[in-house]
Every structure is written in C-alpha cells, then in structure tokens.
C-alpha cells in the first residue's frame, strides 16, 4: 500500500490554496464542502474562487507566492501551472511538516486528494496514488452508480439509534447482526424510499423486542429489455441484496450475472405453450419465501406492470401484508425502438402510441381492429411473432394501407439485435423465409420509415 487513506476534519481550520485558476477553484470547492477556512494566494483569482474565500472566512492575497503566507495552515494545495512555484511550495511545507498536495505532481506531495463519492456522512474515496487519476475517476463513477444519494440519509438515520441499540444489545456480535439485518433489510429500504417515519417506528419496535432478524420482503424488479446498462440504480441495489431470485426467460444472462452471487436462483420462465411454473404457483412461491423471512427478488424482463403480470403477484402479497417494492424497468417498446432508431412518436408521423399484447388465444388474435387503422399512431405488439401474419392481414382488411411500414425487432438492445423491416403486405412472407429468434417486438406505423436514417449507428 503506497498511501494510508485518512479522513481529515477541516471544519473552520485554515487551509491555503496557491493558484487562482480553474484547478485551484476546483480544489477550493472540496475544501469548502469540508468546512475549511480557505485562503488563496495568486496574482489573479477567478470570481468563484474569490467568493469561496470570502464565504469561508479566509483571505485572498493578490500577489505572488511567499512562504510567509503558509502561516498556521493545516493543509496547503498548490495548483499553479508554474513548476518552480509548485516545487517551492512543496519544499516549504515539507520543511514545516505541513501536509501538502501539488496537483498532478505526486513526487512533490505528502498527501494526495482522491476521487470522492460524497454521501455525507458516508464518504467513499478512491485513489490510484497519482499514477492514473482518470482511472480513479472511473472507479468513482462506478461507485456513484452503486451507492444512491439517499445513503447519506440512511447513515444519519442509523446514527440516531446507536445508543439505543447499544443499550439493548450488550453483546457486540448481536449488535453487529442486528445492524446488518437493519441496513440490508426492509427498514433501510423504507429510509432510502423516503418513508423515514415508518422506518423509525419499525426500528423502535425491533429494538424494544430485541429482534435481531428481519422479516421477509419481495422486490418486483423490471430488468429492462436485455442490455444491463439500462438497469436503474435501485434495481441494481435490490438485486445485490436479495437472498432468493425468481427470474424469467426474458432476463438476459449479463443481467442475471449482476445478481448477488450467493443468492438462490429459481427459473420460472415461460415459453409459448410451455410454462415451467404456472403463474399461480409463482405467486404462492413468492408468498411462502417471504413468510419464511427471505428477501425475495422477482426479476422480470421489461417492466413488471406492462404485460408482466406484476399486478397479480403483488395482489397476493398485499392480501397477506407482505412488504414489497416495485421497481419499474425500461419496457421493450421503449428500449427496442430506441436502439433500432425508431422513435415511437414523431410530429410528422405519429401523435400517439399503443402497447398491445400479441399473444394468441385459441389460435386467434381478437382485437377491435378498427381502432388500429387510424392515421398518425404507432402500434407496438409485444410477443407478436407467432400472430404476425394474422395481425398484418387484419390490419389491411380493416383499411390500413398495405404499404404501411413495419419493423420486427429481434433480441432488442442486445449485441445480437436484428431489425427486420418491410410493409404490412411484405412482412409475413419475409418472416417465413427468415430464421428469427425470440424475443421479438413488432412495430407498425410511419415512424418505422425513420429506421433507415436513424438506425445506422453502431453501439
């Protein structure tokens, strides 16, 4: 380990910044966040930097650097573009044993500033020891996506109950298990979701009862159309803390790999005419696992409330007073159309869009077809591959022009995505003569014509 990570309390303490440009201003912002009293020495300073000095109670010295200005500083940052000045600042600080950071010059530093994820009072710092600042910033970006902004609120919430928990659980191991259960369970989720008053009541009850274990909960999470980069922060967080995962066939393998490693996985997928587990049995399984005290993730392709039968699953949970959370996902219509370069609405082509299930019932697709043939609308059929021929035929029969553009998006948003285009008249024969793999999405309307100009780029 080249450096020992430490966190300094700089509240009201004098800190000196040498330099008045953009980088100096950036460093001063960090010091201001930490509550430092900032002084700056530079012949000329940016307006924002001067304001930071004033608001912190420090002094602005519009002159060249002089070692006398170090004074009682507890930290000095040199951020000039003059190498001789930076070197002199470093030497002066080392002679006085004052921590010094010289921007982009690790050899002149006694301390370095890391890339910071600020979830105060939770602070996360990443550093490459000055070897690769860009890499450290990339790590910070990844951490930003892992820890939501509300983690700071959770840390403050937990701190209010430390003394009460310590009094209730004299054994250190019990306290550890209690806090692990709280911070990884329902109470923490309530705080993160903004229901802090409910969380406070629940935590008080658990402290009073001396209850170390948490109760079960279900997370109904939309996994989106396939590309793991389309997951929400909240979805990823819940995926990482679930103990049991029920997933369907529309959940891509890269997304499944992001689930907590030691979680039990149960496949409950469905194919046409092949139900691995009937929906009623899935509902009962969710209920049973939650009643056993498990944190259960129901991971569904797309959005759980758009042709995902999510409403049926939470009906049973609500009836048995099982806590649950619903996390929306990017539905296939939105994700696949965007990746195909087909806007679902466009001022010149479509002012409305319909989402329609293309599932056959008794071998037929039964709709009020007259509603579908109106101009200036986009129709999106989910799971429409099997019924495609009937859909196209009926649309033409009820008056939709035979040359209306049609797109069939195959494995949308994945690296293997293929977009097949044609018209209501030509698409059935095109599909018959082409090997196509589910999942697919059928888009009908004038907006499909834009695929040629908007869908060319590589991802």
Mean pLDDT of 173-200: 86
Residues contacting 78, CB < 8 A, separation 6+? 18, 19, 85, 86, 89, 90, 100, 101, 102, 103, 108
The residue from 13, 118, 156, 270 that is catalytic is 270
Q: Which helix or strand (DSSP H or E) is residue 319 part of?
A: helix 310-319
* Residue numbering of the annotated binding site for NAD(+): 22-23, 43-44
Whole-number Å distance between alpha carbons of 65 and 53: 17
- Confirm if 386 and 360 have CB atoms less than 8 A apart: yes
* Residue numbering of the annotated binding site: 22-23, 43-44, 225, 301-303, 306, 331-332, 383, 412
Kindly report the CATH number that applies to the domain delimited by 151-209: 1.10.8
Question: What are the tokens at 210?
Answer: 């001396």
Q: What percent of the chain has pLDDT over 70?
A: 95
Span 339-375, pLDDT tens digits: 999 999 999 999 999 999 876 555 566 788 999 999 9
Whole-number Å distance between alpha carbons of 8 and 99: 11
Whole-number Å distance between alpha carbons of 152 and 120: 5
> Does the pLDDT of residue 438 top 70, yes or no?
yes
Domain 14-113 homologous superfamily, CATH = NAD(P)-binding Rossmann-like Domain (3.40.50.720)
Q: What's the pLDDT at 259?
A: 93
Residues contacting 276, CB < 8 A, separation 6+? 267, 268, 269, 270
Q: What's the pLDDT at 458?
A: 47
Phi, psi of 291 (to 5 degrees): -65, -25
403 is catalytic: no
Mean pLDDT of 436-455: 90
Whole-number Å distance between alpha carbons of 103 and 86: 9
Kindly report the CATH number that applies to the domain delimited by 333-454: 3.30.950.10
Strands 217-222 and 274-275: unpaired
The end-to-end CA distance of the chain, in Å, is 38
Whole-number Å distance between alpha carbons of 122 and 151: 7
pTM score of the predicted model: 0.64
Residues contacting 19, CB < 8 A, separation 6+? 40, 42, 78, 79, 80, 81
Span 115-164, pLDDT tens digits: 888 888 889 998 888 788 888 888 888 888 778 788 899 999 999 999 99
Helix, strand, coil percentages in the chain from 3-state DSSP, rounded to 5: 40, 20, 40
> Does the pLDDT of residue 213 top 80, yes or no?
no
248 is catalytic: yes
Whole-number Å distance between alpha carbons of 445 and 456: 19
Torsion angle defined by CA atoms of residues 446, 448, 452 and 455, in that order, rounded to the nearest 10 degrees: 140
Give the number of residues written for the chain: 459
Bridge partners, 327 (sequence order)? 221
Span 180-193, pLDDT tens digits: 788 877 888 889 88
Region of poorest pLDDT, from 15-24, 131-140, 441-450? 131-140
* Residue numbering of the annotated binding site for S-adenosyl-L-methionine: 225, 301-303, 306, 331-332, 383, 412
Residues contacting 4, CB < 8 A, separation 6+? none
Out of 3.40.1010.10, 3.40.50.720, 3.40.640.10, 2.60.40.650, the CATH code matching 217-330 is 3.40.1010.10
- Domain spans of the chain, in order of start: 14-113, 151-209, 217-330, 333-454
- Confirm if 194 and 251 have CB atoms less than 8 A apart: no
> Does the pLDDT of residue 414 top 80, yes or no?
yes
For residues 395 and 454, the model is more confident at: 395
Mean pLDDT, the chain, rounded, equals 90
Angle at 453 between CA 450 and CA 454, to 5 degrees: 75
* Two domains, one topology: 14-113 and 217-330: no
The residue from 248, 300, 394, 400 that is catalytic is 248
Which residue, among 220, 224, 222, 221, has the nearest Cα to 338 in the 3D structure?
224
């Amino acid at each position: 380990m080249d450096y020992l990570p430490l966190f300094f309390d700089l509240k009201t303490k004098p800190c000196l910044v040498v330099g008045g440009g953009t980088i100096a201003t950036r460093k001063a912002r960090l010091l201001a966040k930490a509550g430092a009293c900032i002084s700056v020495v530079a012949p000329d300073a940016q307006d924002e930097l001067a304001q930071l000095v004033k608001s912190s109670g420090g002094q602005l010295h519009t002159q060249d650097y002089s070692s006398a200005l170090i004074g009682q500083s507890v930290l000095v940052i040199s951020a000039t573009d003059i190498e001789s000045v930076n070197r002199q600042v470093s030497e002066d600080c080392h002679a006085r044993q004052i921590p010094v950071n010289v921007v982009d010059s690790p050899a002149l530093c006694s301390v370095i500033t890391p890339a910071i994820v600020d979830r105060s009072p939770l602070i996360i710092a990443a550093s490459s020891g000055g070897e690769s600042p860009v890499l450290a910033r990339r790590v910070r970006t990844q951490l930003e996506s892992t820890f939501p902004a509300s983690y700071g609120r959770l840390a403050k919430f937990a701190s209010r109950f430390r003394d009460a928990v310590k009094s209730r659980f004299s054994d250190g191991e019990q306290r550890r298990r209690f806090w692990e259960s709280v911070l990884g369970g329902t109470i923490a989720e309530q705080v993160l979701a903004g229901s802090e008053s409910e969380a406070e009541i629940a935590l008080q009850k658990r402290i009073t009862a001396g209850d170390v274990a948490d109760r079960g909960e279900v997370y109904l999470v939309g996994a989106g159309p396939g590309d793991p980069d389309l997951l929400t922060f909240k979805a990823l967080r819940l995926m990482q803390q679930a103990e049991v995962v029920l997933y369907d066939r529309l959940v891509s393998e890269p997304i499944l790999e992001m689930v907590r490693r030691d979680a039990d996985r149960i496949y409950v997928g469905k194919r046409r005419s092949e139900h691995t587990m009937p929906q009623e049995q899935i509902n009962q399984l969710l209920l049973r696992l939650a009643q056993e005290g498990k944190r259960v993730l129901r991971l569904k392709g797309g959005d759980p409330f758009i042709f995902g039968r999510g409403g049926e699953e939470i009906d049973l949970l609500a009836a048995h007073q099982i806590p649950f959370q619903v996390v929306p996902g990017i539905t296939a219509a939105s994700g696949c159309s965007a990746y195909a370069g087909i806007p679902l609405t466009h001022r010149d082509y479509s002012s409305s869009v319909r989402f329609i299930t293309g599932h056959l019932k008794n071998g037929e697709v039964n709709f009020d077809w007259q509603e579908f043939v109106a101009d200036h609308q986009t129709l999106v059929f989910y799971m429409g591959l099997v019924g495609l021929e009937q859909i196209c035929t009926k649309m033409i029969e009820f008056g939709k022009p035979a040359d209306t553009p049609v797109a069939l998006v195959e494995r949308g948003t994945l690296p293997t995505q293929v977009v097949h285009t044609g018209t209501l008249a030509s698409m059935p024969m095109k599909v018959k003569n082409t090997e196509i793999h589910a999942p697919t999405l059928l888009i009908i309307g004038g907006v499909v014509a834009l695929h040629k100009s908007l869908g060319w780029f590589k991802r």
